[in-house]
A and B are shown apart, each in its own frame.
Chain A
Amino acid sequence: DTAVSQTPKYLVTQMGNDKSIKCEQNLGHDTMYWYKQDSKKFLKIMFSYNNKELIINETVPNRFSPKSPDKAHLNLHINSLELGDSAVYFCASSQPPLAGGPQYNEQFFGPGTRLTVL
């Protein structure tokens, strides 16, 4: 069974369109993330949600809006797509750090969604 799944795997679209990428995890984790990997393979965090609440928002344009209908899902909606949005987008999940415990936990990544904006 897939732990973290993303759909679609590939997305090709025209500039100016609006598109969504879906992410689901069946690990029972409370925290989910979106990462962007650019053409140089550099990964950078975009958003993090803990139990449906936004906890990290890393200077991402307003055209990007994450939506978490429940703690197992974190979707990414992108308005008015631009050429520079072309990248691979990875979803991930983890358990949040426990109060008083180690302030880190392993993250589990989805397979990625390759977005190409023409």
Chain B
Amino acid sequence: KNEVEQSPQNLTAQEGEFITINCSYSVGISALHWLQQHPGGGIVSLFMLSSGKKKHGRLIATINIQEKHSSLHITASHPRDSAVYICAVTRYGNKLVFGAGTILRVKS
């Protein structure tokens, strides 16, 4: 069993819908990261958080340390949000352990 589990694996939404992607982890961590990988392949860091909640534009990330769970929310989704969203946790030595990713497709 992977140390970081994401759900759902695939998600299709209509433009404008509110989207939630979930991440659970089973190990001690320093921080949790949400990354975005576009069809072109590049990986961008969206959020890095160790507690509470962060917001960038239409993206919101939350983490519950006690429950070892994080969510990534996208409000008013748009086709350009279509990408793979990857949850990762920081272990010792700034080592990242990754979830399998969630493939998001937003249809217009």
Contacts and interface: CB of A to CB of B under 8 A. Distances in A.
Given A43-B86, A102-B31, A107 B42 contact: no
Interface of chain B: mostly helix, strand, loop or mixed: strand
Contacts of B92: 103
A88 interface: yes
Given A45-B95, A55-B93, A56-B93, A102 B30 contact: yes
Contacts of A111: 41-42
A66 interface: no
Interface string A26-63: 00000101010000111111001000000110000000
Interface of B: 30-31, 33, 35, 37, 41-45, 48, 50, 84, 86, 88, 90, 92-98, 100-101
Given A41-B100, A104-B50, A109 B43 contact: yes
Contacts of B42: 109, 111-112
B31 A104 contact: yes
Given A102-B30, A103-B30, A109-B44, A96 B98 contact: no
A84 to B, nearest CB: 19
B65 to A, nearest CB: 13
A4 to B, nearest CB: 10
A41 B39 CA distance: 11
A90 B86 CA distance: 14
A43 B30 CA distance: 19
A48 B90 CA distance: 13
A1 interface: no
A94 interface: yes
A103 B100 contact: no
Contacts of B48: 104-106
Contacts of A45: 95-97
Contacts of B41: 88, 111-112, 114
Contacts of B94: 31, 48, 94, 96-97, 103-105, 107
Contact of B95 (A40, A42, A48, A109): A48
A64 interface: no
A116 B18 CA distance: 38
